[in-house]
A and B are shown apart, each in its own frame.
Chain A
Amino acid sequence: MGDMNGKDAVRTMNSTSIRHGEHVDTIESVDVVFRAQRKLSFTYGAVFFAVTLAIPALSVWWKSWYAVPIWGGFTANYLFVSLLYYIFLWTMAWTYSKQADKLDEQLMHMAADITAANTGEEA
């Protein structure tokens, strides 16, 4: 188990809860957190894979995408892979990161509330 920064010195756990200092996770609170994180990650993942796999699909089946120059020697395919794809990645990573931070904050409070309700103590 990780015990590199001393935090685990205060950790205790059993089959239904984990305590870190004053803070407790129960399996109910973790399930709520898990479902919300899964929804966020898999929504972004679906967009990421749809766009990323669309590029080779268009390269195979849509001539206007891969063979018609639109700016100097650039085709839409070359322009997207060499430049626009990075802008797509940066936008995805930034918005995901911000939303995940926000979700973390919400879930921390939510988990604390659920735990307090279940254990009857202040989480």
Chain B
Amino acid sequence: MNTIAIILVIGLTLFTIGLSIFSRRFTRTTADFYLAGRKVGSFANASAISGDYLSAASFLGVAGAVYASGLDGVWYAAGFAGGFMVVVLFIASALRRFGEYTVADFAFGRFGSSRIRLITVVAVLLTSLFYMAPQMFGAGTTWQVLVGTGFFGMSPYTSGVVVVAAIIAFYVAVGGMKGTTMNQIFQFWWLAFAMIMVVVFAFGNGFSYPKALADASAEPIVNTKAFTVAELTTPDAAGLTPYERAAEVMSAEELAAVDEFIASDAEGKIPVAFYAGNKLHDLRDMLFREPGHRYNTFDQFSMVLALVLGTAGLPHILNRYYTNPSGKAARRSTFWVLVFIGTFYILAPIAGLAGIGFIRDFVAGGGELNAATVNGLLVKPDQLMPTIAEILGGQWLMGIVAAGAFAAMFSTVGGLLIAAASALGHDVYEKYINKNASEAKRVAFGKASVLVFATLALAIGLAIPYFGLDQAYPALIAMMVTWAFSVGASAFVPMLLTGIWWKGTTERGATAGMLVGLVGAITIIFLNILQQLGTLGHEGILGFVGSLTYPVLFTFPLGLLTIIVVSKLDGQLPKNVDEIWMRIHGTASERHEKQHGLDKVGSMFAKK
């Protein structure tokens, strides 16, 4: 039991709960609950956006993806950061100027129909669920490494998922956006501290970036994967069985354990190691410093587009822009976000690369880890961060990192719960179910929505290992987050871009484009999952579509094209299109705010 590490995590958790209770006295209205009263300044908002954005995928997933895939994993970091350029260039100022609560409000205000508002709500909820899945998976896997045991008869994984879902539901329901904002600010700086500490300890233990990269690239990348006896002995298309491939890599001692597993015809799976192939340049060895471990030519472009466009389609991030006091502050916030997360993303791949040498040497020296290894490599790369922290700095550093991992999950799931609560509470309840509801009733409905979504997050977290997804993909956390990016990029971004920059966009066009993007992206993702699980073959059109890891290269242009074509055919602009245009691009409001000092940041903690 990692007692010191567990105490640090409990301390962080109690602190976040305390912050939520403290902020409760400042959450009186729906504007407070959903938007922190629109009084969040650039630096604070940038810290909160960074905390919101840096999820388990960034803290655990990026380092894990680099550890498993080399350069293709580094792309997660670069793409996650690059996405904010699209936000600042095309969306941030206009969204803030339009002055609504949520993305669904924008859709309704811009196109004037309840139909598009409700479709946007559905898209927000689906994107949020896609984004919650990897956070809950991260909670379970971190708990496995940190605590190693479960409680009340539950497995360690299940215990982690249950604890994280319960804590977040509590503090979001109690603290609302102000509490969540304060927590996100604190959690971002804790995350940054934890990442810096791991990298400092790595350099302090003799790590050299260029040399480690050369060493890691001296041999082809080695994959780890668990197989059943039948899978181990079935030849692939090249005529080699996974066992024969493992024999090229694994030591005689480790291979003897695999022999014994096969001879016993045991149930379950055993992890083996084997050289990875190069999906991009199939005649080259798959070296750590080269592209091709995860992506073929199509996916190289599709993944980049998914990441840079997806950020602009994340409802919990877009909602944050409404908390800025002015368009200028929105741009300034985004610049600081890029500085904060850029620094973080420069460090995360260093941690991933450092893990290769340090974990291999530690295991070779007879060290024992909570995380399973084969051939000196982690079977689950997403467990890299807490594992390398334990090796480099013992329980203290592991505690700091584990607390950072939980902080990443708390802050992101907190933001997602607020976005989901906004979609259900503000966009549905206040607009359609009970238009005359009192402030107290509205806030109560928002809190109930938080609890419903926390329960859904819990169910998704438990479903991932049940369906074997954790065995189907290497570095699953980063992969699942990119799916959420793909759904957001396909559903929202074409509608937002055309809604802001093309006056000729009609309601029918925007609705059709959103539906095409949303349904197309989700369909392709599920086909890919079915193919990875072995349910869907590789033949025919379905087989081809299922082989696309990320759908954005198809679904984003398809959504955009649908909007343009249907809008042209339809031609029915909203009657008040000029008024709408003036709200999006006009400056009278900002001139007025500037004149009266309303563009200045007030206090989040001012009592009404």
Residues of A at the B interface (CB closer than 8 Å) are 1-2, 4-8, 10-11, 13-27, 29-30, 33-34, 37-38, 41, 44-45, 48-49, 52-53, 55-57, 59-60, 66-67, 69, 71-75, 77-78, 81-83, 85-86, 89-90, 92-94, 96-97, 100-101, 104, 107-108, 111-112, 115
Contacts and interface: CB of A to CB of B under 8 A. Distances in A.
Interface stretch (B219-227, B297-305, B375-383, B543-551): B297-305
A86 to B, nearest CB: 4
Interface stretch (B80-88, B231-239, B254-262): B80-88
Given A67-B284, A81-B71, A108 B289 contact: no
Contacts of B284: 67
Q: In terms of DSSP, what is the predominant structure of the interface of chain A? A: helix
A77 B291 contact: yes
B74 interface: yes
B213 A78 contact: yes
A1 B431 CA distance: 12
Contacts of A107: 587
Given A7-B589, A25-B588, A86-B345, A73 B280 contact: no
Contacts of A77: 71, 289-291
A73 B208 CA distance: 10
B17 to A, nearest CB: 28
Interface in B257-315: 280, 284, 288-291, 297, 300-301, 304-305, 308
A100 B92 CA distance: 12
Interface in B31-75: 31, 35, 37-38, 71, 74-75
B210 A27 contact: no
Nearest to B325: A5
Interface in B195-219: 208-217
B338 A90 contact: yes
A97 B578 contact: no
A96 to B, nearest CB: 7
B579 interface: yes
Nearest to A45: B89
A18 B582 contact: yes
Contacts of B591: 20, 23, 108, 111-112
Given A41-B89, A74-B213, A93-B84, A30 B582 contact: yes
B595 A23 contact: yes
Given A34-B585, A37-B585, 12 more contacts: A4-B37, A13-B582, A15-B578, A33-B585, A69-B214, A73-B215, A78-B289, A89-B84, A89-B342, A93-B84, A93-B88, A108-B587
Nearest to B210: A72
A11 to B, nearest CB: 7
A12 B547 CA distance: 54
B94 to A, nearest CB: 8
A22 B595 contact: yes
B481 to A, nearest CB: 18
Interface of B: 31, 35, 37-38, 71, 74-75, 77-78, 81-82, 84-86, 88-90, 93, 98-101, 109, 208-217, 280, 284, 288-291, 297, 300-301, 304-305, 308, 327-328, 331-332, 334-335, 338-339, 342-343, 345-346, 349, 501, 576, 578-579, 581-583, 585-596, 598
Given A44-B89, A104-B590, A93 B338 contact: yes
Contacts of B595: 21-23
17 contacts: A4-B37, A7-B598, A11-B589, A21-B596, A23-B591, A23-B595, A27-B582, A41-B90, A59-B300, A60-B297, A69-B217, A72-B209, A72-B213, A93-B88, A97-B331, A97-B332, A107-B587
Nearest to B576: A15
A79 B582 CA distance: 45
A16 to B, nearest CB: 7
Contacts of B85: 48, 89, 92-93
Contacts of A94: 335
Given A73-B289, A89-B85, A100 B331 contact: yes
A39 B346 CA distance: 32
Contact of A27 (B31, B215, B581, B594): B581
A86 B280 contact: no
A85 B78 contact: yes
A19 B101 CA distance: 22
A20 B588 contact: yes
A55 B295 CA distance: 14
Contacts of B308: 49, 52
Contacts of B598: 5-7
Given A66-B291, A90-B339, A81 B589 contact: no
Given A23-B588, A33-B586, A60-B300, A85 B289 contact: no
A120 B308 CA distance: 46
B82 A89 contact: yes
A93 B335 contact: yes
Contacts of B216: 73
Contact of A5 (B38, B90, B290): B38
Contact of A59 (B291, B334, B339): B291
B346 A86 contact: yes
A11 B205 CA distance: 63
Top 10 nearest A-B pairs (CB, nearest first) are A72-B210, A73-B213, A73-B214, A2-B99, A25-B586, A20-B592, A56-B300, A86-B342, A25-B588, A23-B588
